[in-house]
Chain A
Amino acid sequence: DAGVIQSPRHEVTEMGQEVTLRCKPISGHDYLFWYRQTMMRGLELLIYFNNNVPIDDSGMPEDRFSAKMPNASFSTLKIQPSEPRDSAVYFCASSLEISGGASDTQYFGPGTRLTVL
């Protein structure tokens, strides 16, 4: 298995531009998570999906952020318009279950390093 795939690995953009991050979860996993990692705030859960349906988006910082999961093998996180304070590493993770069983391990992708100038 290739694991969780994220693209691009690095993104540099200018303030005000739209940014789209992409994720392909592990096949068969029912849950998909988007995280943001910064030195100041650590690892923050932004949103997660169960069977392609958004369950909890309370971690999404602002309306500028949106996420979709049109099918079981693809998800996007979009920032429009982007701002310098959005600069961070964004991780996608997937799991079979969210917690409570042997299959609740989250498998993280390699992340997308976003820099907004």
Chain B
Amino acid sequence: QQQVKQSPQSLIVQKGGISIINCAYENTAFDYFPWYQQFPGKGPALLIAIRPDVSEKKEGRFTISFNKSAKQFSLHIMDSQPGDSATYFCAASRDDKIIFGKGTRLHILP
């Protein structure tokens, strides 16, 4: 009930391509779905977040797509750049609980 399943574990994308990371959750009580970006040697930092009342949120090259009925959400990075190479975590939260996915290591080839 409390798991957030994230895939893939690692992803290699050519510069300029689209990176797609998927997450699925089980608990329908979750009401906030953030994505965090982590560079080596640093702590995670909030990248973009969505609430279940919308199906999509876009900020620059980053888009979250949310499918409430399927209990899935995904991060799309358009025109991927080498600087996007990092580990990405999805999360789901409600009130006093936040659960993180296990992370996706993204590498953008120059």
Contact = CB atoms under 8 A, between A and B. Distances in A.
- B and A form one assembly: yes
Interface of A: 4, 41-45, 48, 55-56, 91, 93, 98-100, 104-111
A56 B96 contact: yes
> On chain B, which size bracket covers the interface?
20 to 34
A109 B100 contact: no
Interface of B: 31-32, 34, 36, 41-46, 49, 89, 93-103
Given A42-B101, A110-B41, A99 B46 contact: no
A99 B44 CA distance: 17
Contacts of A43: 44, 89, 100, 102-103
Q: A-B pairs with the 9 shortest C-beta distances?
A: A108-B43, A42-B102, A99-B93, A43-B100, A99-B32, A105-B46, A108-B44, A91-B43, A109-B43
Q: Would you call the interface of chain B mostly helix, strand, loop, or mixed? A: strand
Given A56-B96, A99-B94, A100-B32, A42 B43 contact: no
